[in-house]
């Protein structure tokens, strides 16, 4: 028996308000990217809104700050976009290869799941880790569904084991390395003194 929780009007209002705020922020960022004149307008408009709540808001200072932000953002974007994208692609490929090694470790051979199937499913499911869904296990569930569909239901337990191994190494590994780095850093900083 499935129970459904009724949706209340105040929940819908909260969701709608949150979505509206998010759209306004995205719209403001897009407007700022359009040019200095639009960035100055966004700064002045934001100053007018803030001026309704607080006295002493200088609209010209806000306008100049947003134009300066736009310039710095453009420089950073031009210099860092390509290296950032290449690094992200390398990270995702490495992550998918760790999944592949985990699957092979638990005994799932290429006859059940080929390397191309593993990597392709990972690349297709990875966009599900966008902000609202990050950390909810959506990627893991999608991978489990895809790999089970390809390999067959008889391999589900092994696939779950492989995904647990993958998460242990990709989440636990950096935590252990970070703890070791902090311990080493603290030891070195106390040894050298103030």
Give the pLDDT score at 3.
45
CB 142 within 8 A of CB 122: no
Query: How many CA atoms does the CB half-sphere of 104 hold within 13 Å?
Result: 10
For 38, 68, 75, the CA distances from 34, given in Å and listed in that order, are 6, 14, 14
Averaged pLDDT, 105-111: 95
Give the pLDDT score at 95.
94
Higher pLDDT, 192 or 153: 153
Averaged pLDDT, 154-181: 95
Give the pLDDT score at 191.
81
The residues, ordered by sequence, that sit 6+ positions from 51 with a Cβ below 8 Å of its Cβ are 57, 59
Per residue in 115-131, pLDDT tens?
Answer: 999 999 999 888 888 76
Furthest C-alpha separation in the chain: 70
What CA–CA distance (Å, rounded) separates 102 from 96? 10
Structure tokens at 78: 């031009």
């Amino acid at each position: 028996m499935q129970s459904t929780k009724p949706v209340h009007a105040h929940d819908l209002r909260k969701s709608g308000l949150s979505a509206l705020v998010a759209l306004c922020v995205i719209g403001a960022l897009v407007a700022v990217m359009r040019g200095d004149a639009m960035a100055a307008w966004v700064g002045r408009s934001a100053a007018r809104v803030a001026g309704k709540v607080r006295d002493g808001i200088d609209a010209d200072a806000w306008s100049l700050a947003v134009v300066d932000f736009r310039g710095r953002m453009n420089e950073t974007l031009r210099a860092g976009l390509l290296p950032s994208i290449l690094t992200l692609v390398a990270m995702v490929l490495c992550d998918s290869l760790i999944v592949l090694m985990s699957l092979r470790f638990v005994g799932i051979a290429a006859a059940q799941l080929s390397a191309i199937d593993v990597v392709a499913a990972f690349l297709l499911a990875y966009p599900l880790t966008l902000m609202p869904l990050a950390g909810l296990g959506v990627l893991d569930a999608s991978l489990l569904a895809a790999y089970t569909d390809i390999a067959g239901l008889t391999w589900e337990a092994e696939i779950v084991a492989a995904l647990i191994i993958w998460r242990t190494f990709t989440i636990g590994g950096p935590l252990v390395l970070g703890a070791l780095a902090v311990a080493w850093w603290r030891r070195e900083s106390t040894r050298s003194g103030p």
